[in-house]
Amino acid sequence: MERLKIGVLVSGGGTNLQSILDGVLEGSLSAEVVFIGANKKDAYGLERGREHGIPTEVFERKDFVTKTERDEALLKLLKAHGVELVVLAGYLGQIPSFMIGEYPNKIINIHPSLLPCFGGKGYFGEKVHQGVYDRGMKVSGATVHFVSEETDGGPIILQETVDIDFDDGVSDIQQKVLKIEHRLLPKAIQLIAEGRIEVINGRVRIDQKG
C-alpha cells in the first residue's frame, strides 16, 4: 500500500504527533509525516519532528503582515511537500476557508470531548475539561472529525468514551482523555490511508470490510 503523505500542525507539546510518529515507526500506520508546522516557535512538537528528520516550519502571526498572508504561506508549504492529509494535533490556529477548499475532507482534527458537547468557540485545551467537570459529566471522551468552516462542526470520523469518577479533577479528566486521543487519531489516519472513509450528507461511513 502506498503511504499517505501527511502534514501535521501543532501548537504545543505534540504528544498526539508523537503517537503518529510511533505508529509510522512501528508499521501500524500506512503513512509518512512529510511536514510539521507550528504557530508557536516554542512548540515542542517541532523538536519531535526535527528528531525524526522531518521538515518543520514556524508560522507565528507576528511574522506576517496579515493572517491571510500567514495562512497562504502555510498552504504553499503544505502543497510543496505533497501533503495529502492535514492533521491538526493540538493546533490552536484557525484554518481559513480557502485552505479547507484546497483540502476538502482532507483536514482532520482531534478534539478532547464528545462533540458536539463542549466544542466550538472558546472550548480548547483545559477549558474543555473544565466544562466537563463543572457540568458533572459521567462520561467524556475524544472525537476525530473533518475540519469545516464551523469550529468543531465537521463530519465526525471516530469517537471513544471514558468514564468520569466523582473524585476526578480537571487534570485527571484531561489525562484520561489524552490516552484515548493517542490511539484514536492514528486509527482515523489509518482508516483514511486505507480508503475506508466516505462522507455522505455530512456523516461519515466507515467501510468495515477493509
Neighbouring residues of 167: CB distance < 8 A, sequence distance ≥ 6:
none
Closest to 88 measured CA to CA, from 141, 177, 17, 32: 17
Instruction: Give the containing element (helix H, strand E) for 128.
Output: helix 126-135
| Beta carbons of 39 and 95 less than 8 angstroms apart | no
- Among candidate residues 52, 81, 111, 129, the one labeled active-site is 111
CA dihedral 19, 57, 174, 5 (to 10 degrees): -40
136-168 burial code (b ≥16 CB/10 A, e <16): ebeebbbbbbbbbeebbbbbbbbbbebebeeeb
Sign of CA dihedral 98, 60, 188, 29: positive
Tell me whether residue 52 is one of the annotated catalytic residues. Answer: no
Residue appearing with cell numbers 487519531: 185
Beta bridge partners of 200: 203
Q: Looking at the annotation, which residues are catalytic?
A: 111
